[in-house]
Amino acid sequence: MHGTLGDDDRWLSRLPQQTRDFVRAKVKQRKFADRSRVYATGDKPDGIYQIVSGEVRLMAYPVVGCELLTFVARRRHWFGELSVIDGGPRPHDAICQGPVELLHLALRDIAAFAETRSDIFGHVALIACEHQRAALSYIGSILAKPSKARLAEMILNMASRNDSFEHPFLQMSQADLAGRLGMSRQHLGNLLCDLKAAGSIATAYGRIHILDERALAMIAN
């Protein structure tokens, strides 16, 4: 198991040697089925997770009846750090997209280690800092692009692969997609029609299927 968590891990490589040894010794391997929840909104924190294989989608529900995809965690990504830092309830559902294999560092082990090395919580906070920096960088870069390029980039970056479908796909409502892109649903609909007419995508209820990744990448860039 420890071979999956080497010093090439971005977060682990920044930790003191004693803390690295602690993480390697305490992570446990866990497997989840497609569409199962690693944790649910409102759950008490139970630790942090790293993706070994598959992907986990973090879903928030800002208002009743509205789902918002906030982050797609893929291989080598750590997630679940926020509630470990502040002790508050989970702010998302962590839902598996396809079969998922994770490494789990339990909160009880983190708390026990903190009795002698209280800086462990500061190290966990580095994960949150990395997520925040990535989000700000992404927001800055995407807002500087034309709307069609922003749409193409988001579809590519957030698309999933699943044996159930021939092509990569983005599973998100058009209302949520328009909100994330900061545009009206009407404008989004017009852009999607353009991409469909060009043969780059196909749409289904709640999904966008990528038919031509190369064409979308050219639009995004």
Q: Where are the domains of the chain?
A: 2-140, 146-220
Cα–Cα distance for residue pair 129/56, rounded to 1 Å: 19
**Which CATH code fits 2-140?**
2.60.120.10
CA 184 to chain CA centroid, Å, is 24
- At 40-91, the pLDDT tens digits run 999 999 999 999 999 998 988 877 666 777 888 989 999 999 999 999 999 9
Q: Quick one: tokens of 181?
A: 């892109």
The dotted CATH code for 146-220 is 1.10.10.10
Instruction: Decide: helix, strand or coil at residue 27.
Output: coil
**Coil, strand or helix: which one is 7?**
coil
What's the whole-number average pLDDT of the chain?
89
Q: Has residue 142 got a pLDDT over 70?
A: no
Which parts of 60-106 fold into alpha helices (H)? 81-86
pLDDT value at residue 140 = 74
60 contacts 82 by C-beta, under 8 angstroms: no
Q: What is the pLDDT of residue 1?
A: 42
pTM confidence score: 0.75
Strand locations in 61-141, DSSP E?
Answer: 68-73, 78-79, 93-106
